[in-house]
Amino acid sequence: MSVPAFDPGVVDDVIKVWGAKSGSIIPILQGVQEKYNYLPPETFPCVAQKLGVSEARVYGVATFYENFSLQPKGKFIIKVCDGTACHVRKSLPNLEKFRKELGLSEKKITTDDLSFTVQTVACLGACSLAPAFMVQGGIPDKVYANVTPDQIPGVLDELRAKL
């Protein structure tokens, strides 16, 4: 899989809704990331110029918030919940299983073919059904609840079929 070229039109679309003001930086970055799964380097000069703010400001916002990524991410983003409820009901073995199956680690979170990204998330709000994880990239986003590590290869097969 390859990453498509950057299109400033995405930025214009968000500006149409939110206006060309500094308060629109986060929605714009969210719009770009929804399209590319990450923020391509061209995003920063483009947004800065259109909003009349410094590139440093846009970059500062993008690097502050956890949901923005400056590295390309996989088609499927697997967010393993490690909130308190999931943590006490053993979410880490699930995370380890994902990493093992996909050859990933804490440092390397995306597969080379850009199929999968595996990361942890603070809380998905599915605490009663802990441990849980969420898969983004299919439509709609899907939450898997009460998961054990032995179910994970099956989930990955299911996702691979949709690549």
Least CB distance to other proteins at residue 129 (A) = 5
44 binds other proteins (CB under 8 A): no
Greatest Cα pair distance, the chain, in angstroms, is 52
126 binds other proteins (CB under 8 A): yes
Between CA 49 and CA 60 the distance in angstroms is 15
Q: Which of 2, 16, 52, 64 binds other proteins (CB under 8 A)?
A: 64
128 binds other proteins (CB under 8 A): yes
Least CB distance to other proteins at residue 144 (A) = 7
20 binds other proteins (CB under 8 A): no
Bridge partner residues of 135 (DSSP): 78, 142
Return all residues near 163 (Cβ < 8 A) that are at least 6 apart: 75, 76, 115
Alpha helices in the chain (DSSP H): 9-18, 25-36, 43-51, 55-64, 84-88, 92-102, 152-160
Among the listed ranges 3-11, 36-44, 70-78, 125-133, the one in contact with other proteins (CB under 8 A) is 125-133
Q: How would DSSP label each residue in 94-131? A: HHHHHHHHHT--SS--B-TTSSEEEEEES--S-GGG-S
* 116/133 with CB nearer other proteins: 133
Least CB distance to other proteins at residue 41 (A) = 19
Task: Please indicate if the annotation marks 123 as binding a ligand.
Answer: yes
- What does the block give as tokens for 28? 């714009």
Q: Which of 12, 55, 61, 101 binds other proteins (CB under 8 A)?
A: 61
- Is 62 in contact with 29 (CB distance < 8 Å)? yes
121 binds other proteins (CB under 8 A): yes
- Is 33 in contact with 3 (CB distance < 8 Å)? no
Binding-site ranges for other proteins (CB under 8 A): 21-27, 29-30, 57, 60-61, 64-68, 79, 82-89, 121-130, 132, 134, 140-145
Binding residues for [2Fe-2S] cluster: 81, 86, 123, 127
